[in-house]
Amino acid sequence: MSQHYIPAWITVVVIPLANVAMAAFAAALVFWYLNINPLDALQAMVYGAFGSSYGWGYTLYYMTSYIFTGLAVAVVFQAGMFNIGGEGQAYIGALGVGLVCLGLGGHVPLIVLLPISIIAAFVFGGLWALIPAWLQATRGSHIVITTIMFNFIAASLMNYILINYLKPADTMSVESAVFDPSSWIPKMHEAFALVGISIDRSPLNLSMFWALFVAFAVWVFLWRTRWGYEVRAMGSNPSGARYGGISIPKTVIMIMVIGGGLAGFMALNVVQGEAHQIKLNLVNQIGFTGIAVALMGRNHPLGIVLASLLFGFLTQGGSELQFEYSVDARIVVVLQGLVILFSGALQNMMKHPIERLYLRLASQRKEPSEEHAAEA
Amino acid sequence: MTAQTTFAAEYALELRGIDKRFGAVHANKNIDLKVEKGTIHGIVGENGAGKSTLMNIIYGFYEADKGDIAIDGKVLKIKDSKTAIASGIGMVHQHFMLIQNFTALENVILGAESGELIDDSLDKARTELERLSDEFGLSVPLDKPVEELSVGFQQRIEILKALYRGARILILDEPTGVLTPQESEHLFKVLESLKAQGTTVILITHKLREILAATDNVSIMRRGAMVAHVKTAETSQEDLAELMVGRKVLLEVEKGNSVPADVKLSVRNLMMTDSVGVKRLDNVSFDVRAGEIVGIAGVSGNGQSELLDVLSGITPLGSGSINLNGHTVDPKHPMNPSQVREAGVGHIPEDRHRMGLINSFSAYEAFILGYHRKHEYNGVLQMKHNAIVADCREKMERWDVRPQDPYLKTANFSGGNQQKLVIAREIEQDPDVLLIGQPTRGVDIGAIESIHRRILDMRAAGKAILLVSVELDEIRSLADRILVMFDGTIVGEVPGDKADERTLGLMMANIVPDEIKALQAEETA
């Protein structure tokens, strides 16, 4: 009789909001300690992130990257595994995108190049995840350990490739040549200008629409296809999945390649959409932040889009804060850390009290119908 | 609190108005219970009736919302199990709480050491345990690691543990679930001698026959409430079942004669070794024909689960061969679970939580597990969601799965309805061979009847059925032939009509009685 029935809106709306509220409260204490009025700080952040089309541009630009790396963690988590390798998978995905743009840029129009670079981002990111996946599936090497190690390997490998092969001879900094402008993904302000709407110049580019589409496609994949069914079955009950004729090794490999590919898509936004060249350390922790985004978004695509928006806001609003109050740049990291702490590590702190409160209220309301419920 | 009301001292344990809620679930409703000193008191009830909650309150795992507990007439506040133990309550759990690589002696003193140095405690415990063993017939090898001992011995260690801590009230939760009939009988003798020495025993079980055989008084629980207290001598199995369920139940279903036809499942010299190199199945051979039910009896853990896993393709076989409905499986030609299903074999697994269901799935998703790749459920990319839900709704109605909601999570169905989900899924695919493990484990008495009838319907429809169960009554009432397993081998075969409890019990302990030997010799001659 341990059937505590908690409606979905408690789990997906109330509890995450309560967690964010707790994080905001803790952040307020930090600001108070720094002699900054927390309300002023909040205002500066909100204005910085949403107060202008410039702020919106940056917020949505960061959101786009977080959606990809968040989904990369979430799909694998649906299979019951933890993909910590988003950082490396995105980095290698950038290599794929960069090679396509460097090789084909200027030779073919964007309409031909873009599908190829999308595929390259997915294939390069996916292949980087394939090795840990294969080791997990056939040798039982734990994917958490191997994907972390593959982040370091990716960083070293990219160093090597950039310095020895991609760096033009006439530059000092470790980065590839700038891609031919015909291969760049159009910026949002350019696209809006075409239809006569003027918005501020920002890194935001059309890959945001790809991110939203991919989030929807991931939902369809997980909840509407037989492959997604198998992934979720395995994630929830591996021996039940085996009973159901689902091959665990095959599913591990499939979902990890998909996860790696999704992380690789992040390069479309950052490399092909904004930097237009492969730079050293271009992923810059976005892969790791994806873990927090997935946690916060309950590993559901819609949740991840919302969590990405929140993290985009924190990133952009936080850097505004830095200008406004000349606090240390790492205030952004502190804010993100607090959100991760309360919505990830401490997620059950609010969960149980809220659920208990709900059940108490519900049982008072439903007292007369209880007999009936027990019968069913 | 009602401290002014008096509690009579003739009761070892008295409960008044115990009430406990878990959120919306009212697990114990105003429970009164009086257990007389020096008696064996049975508590029966279906799964989820609230027995375990009540015992956990007495043992201090949970605290009651309302109500009083009195021991020997004194009201006590039992906040934790330490208080419970200090007040003389001992509990033997269904799943033993022993450290496998410790000896019996070390297990007994665990948490009750008398000083910093372990040797003194061990010596003291040894003398005390030898006295207890002699007194109650509870002899165990004290210096062997527990993992080398049989479950019967392990249970005795649990009882000794409680007695060593000075238990005067001993609570046993489903104690016979893992024992052979002979071991159970010995347990009841032990309980009798404990009673003779003045210990009070509370026996929780769902086996009504044991209640009648071993107890003095019985209390019956239904849906969180105590519905009756009766003297064991004045009741019967039928009466108890009716009190438990709240309506009349048939304890045994009628079955007609079997008309066995062609062999549909044939197993020859099957061997299987697990990942640590222990032989789990050894030279297992048998046939199952269309239109008959072959039962596999045995104490759980003697290879039955492994047999089902191998037959259904979950575990690869080591050597030997299987003929599944015309398809040969051997080490060179393995079949995976989906191929086995395609060959016309249905599998109702022993443990629906571990295997048969995915708890986070909705009912409609659970209804296609194992068949989710079938053409009728799939489009080019997407699954045919609406068709699957409609199909589920229709099957739920036909099988009377309640509540009839395809979107409800499987974890939120009752045990009986979860089991119906699994059975319906497998039978609806119309397999020729049906592998069934523990079909009524954790299922209410009321639902058992209908599940048994469905299994017999499948037999009448000419399906070959292999039934694994640790419930002897179930095997005896359903199976046409019974194979008994011990330590991965088949000890022998008993025709269903000759299978009395004593014969099966002996065979479960690897002893083949002469009359069965003669029967088998006759057959081979």
Contacts of B369 in chain A (CB under 8 A): 233, 240, 243-244
Contact A242 B337 (CB under 8 A): yes
pLDDT of amino acid B472: 86
Confidence of residue B178 (pLDDT cuts 50, 70, 90): confident
Does the distance separating the beta carbons of A239 and B361 come in below 8 Å?
Answer: no
Residue B177 has pLDDT above 80, yes or no: no
- Compare CB distances from B382 to A3, A225, A237 and report the shortest one's residue: A225
- In terms of C-beta density within 10 A (0-12 exposed, 13-18 middle, 19 or more buried), how is residue B200 classed? buried
Binary contact (A233, B25; C-beta < 8 A): no
Of B26, B355, B378, the CB nearest to A370: B26
Question: Taking CB atoms and an 8 Å limit, are A226 and B378 in contact across chains?
Answer: yes
**Nearest-neighbour CA in chain A from B50: distance (Å):** 8
pLDDT at B417: 86
pLDDT tier at A214 (50, 70, 90 boundaries)? very high
A8 contacts chain B (CB < 8 A): no
Report the Cα–Cα distance between both ends of chain B, in Å, rounded: 76
Neighbours of B68 (CB within 10 A): 18
Distance from CA of B271 to the nearest CA of A (A): 20
User: B22 and A225 in contact by Cβ < 8 A?
Assistant: no
Categorize the per-residue pLDDT at B4 as very low, low, confident or very high, splitting at 50, 70 and 90: very low
> How large is the ipTM?
0.82
pLDDT of B58-68, one tens digit each?
A: 998 888 888 99
- Domain residues for the domain of A258 are 57-326
Average pLDDT score over residue span A136-144: 94
Q: Give me the mean pLDDT over the B210-221 stretch.
A: 91
Confidence of residue B5 (pLDDT cuts 50, 70, 90): low
Q: Find the Cα–Cα–Cα–Cα dihedral B210, B214, B215, B218, rounded to 10°.
A: 10
Nearest CA in chain B to A356: B23
| Location of structure tokens 């730079």 | A279
Eight-class DSSP state of B354: I
Kindly tell me if the per-residue pLDDT of B482 is higher than 80.
Answer: yes
Average pLDDT (A332-359) is 82
- Per-residue pLDDT of B63-95, as tens digits, reads 888 899 999 888 888 888 888 988 999 999 878
Of B25, B339, B355, the CB nearest to A243: B355
Asked whether the beta carbons of residue A1 and residue B314 sit closer than 8 angstroms, the reply is no
Mean pLDDT in chain B? 88
Is the confidence at residue A374, as pLDDT, over 80? Answer: no
The owner of tokens 């993992």 is B147
B chain contacts of residue A370, beta-carbon cutoff 8 Å: 24, 26
**C-alpha to C-alpha distances, B164 to A132, B90, B100, B238, nearest whole angstrom:** 52, 10, 19, 38
Find the CB nearest A356 among B23, B48, B368.
Answer: B23
Mapped to the 3 state alphabet, what secondary structure does chain A carry? CCCCCCCHHHHHHHHHHHHHHHHHHHHHHHHHHCCCCHHHHHHHHHHHHHCCHHHHHHHHHHHHHHHHHHHHHHHHHHCCCCCCCHHHHHHHHHHHHHHHHHHHECCECHHHHHHHHHHHHHHHHHHHHHHHHHHHHHHCCCHHHHHHHHHHHHHHHHHHHHHHHHCCCCCCCCECCCCCHHHCCCEHHHHHHHCCCCCCCCCCECHHHHHHHHHHHHHHHHHHEHHHHHHHHHHHCHHHHHHCCCCHHHHHHHHHHHHHHHHHHHHHHHHHHHHCCCECCCCCCHHHHHHHHHHHCCCCHHHHHHHHHHHHHHHHHHHHHHHHHCCCCCHHHHHHHHHHHHHHHCHHHHHHHHHHHHHHHHHHHHHHHHHHHHHC
Identify whether A49 is part of a domain: no
Contact status of A232 with chain B (Cβ, < 8 Å):
yes
Q: Is A195 within 8 Å of chain B by CB?
A: no
User: Alpha-carbon Rg of chain A, whole angstroms?
Assistant: 22
Question: Angle at the Cα of A265 (from A261 to A266), degrees rounded to 5?
Answer: 125
Q: How far is B90 from chain A (nearest CA, A)?
A: 25
Range scoring the smallest mean pLDDT among A1-15, B272-286, B325-339: A1-15
> Over 90: is that where the pLDDT of A226 sits?
yes
Confidence at B519, pLDDT banded by 50, 70, 90: confident
Q: Is A168 exposed, middle or buried (0-12, 13-18, 19+ CB in 10 A)?
A: exposed
Tally Cβ neighbours within 10 Å of residue B462. Answer: 16
The better pLDDT of the pair B448, A69 is held by A69
- Residue A196 in contact with partner chain B when CB distance is under 8 A: no
Give the distance from residue B469's alpha carbon to the nearest chain A alpha carbon, in angstroms. 19
Cβ-Cβ pairs closer than 8 A, A with B, add up to 103
Distances (CA, A) of A208 to A68, A197, A273, B96, B135: 10, 18, 10, 57, 79
Contact of B62 with B20, CB cutoff 8 Å? yes
Show residues of chain B in contact with A227, CB under 8 Å.
none
- How many domains are there within chain A? 2
Q: What is the mean pLDDT of residues A45-53?
A: 94
The pLDDT tens digits for B97-123 are 899 899 999 998 887 777 777 888 888
**pLDDT exceeds cutoff 50 at A371:** no
Q: Do A188 and A240 fall into the same domain?
A: yes
Task: Show residues of chain A in contact with B347, CB under 8 Å.
Answer: 243
pLDDT for the residue numbered B251: 67
pLDDT of A375 higher than 60:
no
- Within 8 A by CB and 6+ apart from A298, the residues are A11, A12, A16
- Cβ separation B22–A243 shorter than 8 A: no
CB A316 within 8 A of CB A49: yes
| pLDDT score for B388 | 95
pTM of the model: 0.82
Which residues of chain B are within 8 Å of residue A5 when distances are taken between CB atoms?
A: 24, 412
What does the pLDDT read at residue B525?
63
**From CA B364, how far away is CA A94, in angstroms rounded?**
41
Taking residues B256-271, report their average pLDDT.
91
Kindly state whether residues A137 and A15 are assigned to the same domain: no
Residue A373: per-residue pLDDT: 41
| Contact criterion met (CB below 8 Å) for B335 and B328 | no
Which residues in chain B have their CB less than 8 angstroms from residue A224's CB? 382-383, 385
**CB of A352 less than 8 A from some CB of B:** no
Q: How many CA atoms lie within 13 A of B509 on its CB side?
A: 16
Q: Is A142 on the interface with B (CB under 8 A)?
A: no
Residue numbers in B near A225 (CB within 8 A): 381-383
- Is A52 within the bounds of a domain? no
The Cα A6–Cα B364 span in angstroms is 20
Q: Are residues A100 and A118 in the same domain?
A: yes
Within-domain flag for A13 = yes
A132 and A254 within one domain: yes
Is pLDDT of A365 > 70? no
> Are A19 and A68 in a shared domain?
no
Res A295 pLDDT > 90: no
Same domain, A315 and A339: no
Contact yes or no for A311/A304 (Cβ under 8 A): no
Same structural domain, A23 and A140: no
Please answer yes or no on whether A359 and B24 come within 8 Å at the CB atom.
Answer: yes
Q: Is A226 on the interface with B (CB under 8 A)?
A: yes
* For residue A301, cis peptide bond before it (omega within 30 degrees of 0): no
Q: Do A247 and B336 touch (CB under 8 A)?
A: yes
Q: Which amino acid is at B76?
A: L
Determine the average pLDDT of the residues in B366-392. Answer: 93
Q: Indicate if the pLDDT at residue B23 is higher than 80.
A: no
Contact B352, B411 (CB under 8 A): no
From the list B23, B314, B385, the residue facing A242 with the nearest CB is B314
Q: Rounded distance, CA B241 to CA A132, Å?
A: 56
Confidence of residue A367 (pLDDT cuts 50, 70, 90): low
- Angle B138-B143-B149 from CA coordinates, rounded to 5°: 65
**Chain A environment of B436 (Cβ under 8 Å):** none
Quote the mean pLDDT of chain A: 91
Among B312, B369, B429, the strongest candidate for a mutation testing the A interface, having the largest count of A CBs within 10 A, is B369
Same domain, A244 and A356: no
Q: What is the pLDDT of residue B3?
A: 45
Taking the Cβ of residue A53 and every Cβ of chain B, the question of whether any pair is shorter than 8 Å is answered with no
Out of B21, B336, B357, closest to residue A240 by CB: B357
Chain-chain contact of A226 with B377 (C-beta, under 8 angstroms): yes
In the predicted structure, residue B26 carries a pLDDT above the cut 90: no
Asked whether residue A260 falls in the same domain as residue A359, the answer is no
Token pair recorded at residue A133: 């996946």
Where residue B96 falls among pLDDT bands split at 50, 70, 90?
Answer: confident
Task: Please tell me the predicted confidence (pLDDT) of residue A2.
Answer: 38
Instruction: Give the mean model confidence (pLDDT) for residues B249-257.
Output: 74
Q: Looking at the predicted structure, is the pLDDT value of residue A311 above 50?
A: yes
Residue B252, pLDDT above cutoff 80: no
Which residues are CB-neighbours of B500 under 8 A, at least 6 positions away? none
Same domain, A254 and A354: no
Q: Which residue has the tokens 């952009």?
A: A316
Instruction: Tell me how far apart the alpha carbons of residues B484 and B468 are, in angstroms, rounded to a whole number.
Output: 10
CB-CB neighbours of B264 under 10 Å: 27
The verdict on a CB contact (< 8 Å) between A240 and B355 is yes
Closest of B96, B271, B266, B69 to residue B173, by C-alpha: B96
Contact B48 A239 (CB under 8 A): no
- Asked whether residue A204 is assigned to any structural domain, the reply reads yes
Could you read off the pLDDT of B394-435 as tens digits, one per residue?
999 988 888 889 999 898 887 788 999 999 999 999 999 999
Residue A16: closest CA among A288, A332, A339: A339
Residues A69 and A17 in one domain: no
Looking at beta carbons, which residues of chain B come within 8 Å of A245?
Answer: 313, 336-341, 370, 373
Of A5, A224, A244, the CB nearest to B412: A5
Question: Exposed e or buried b for every residue in B471-482, given b needs 16+ CB within 10 A?
Answer: bbebbbbbbbbb
What average pLDDT score do residues A89-112 get? 96
Average pLDDT of the residues in B274-281 = 86
Instruction: Note whether residue A343 is domain-resident.
Output: yes
| Cβ–Cβ gap A1/B312 under 8 Å | no
Q: Same structural domain for residues A141 and A237?
A: yes
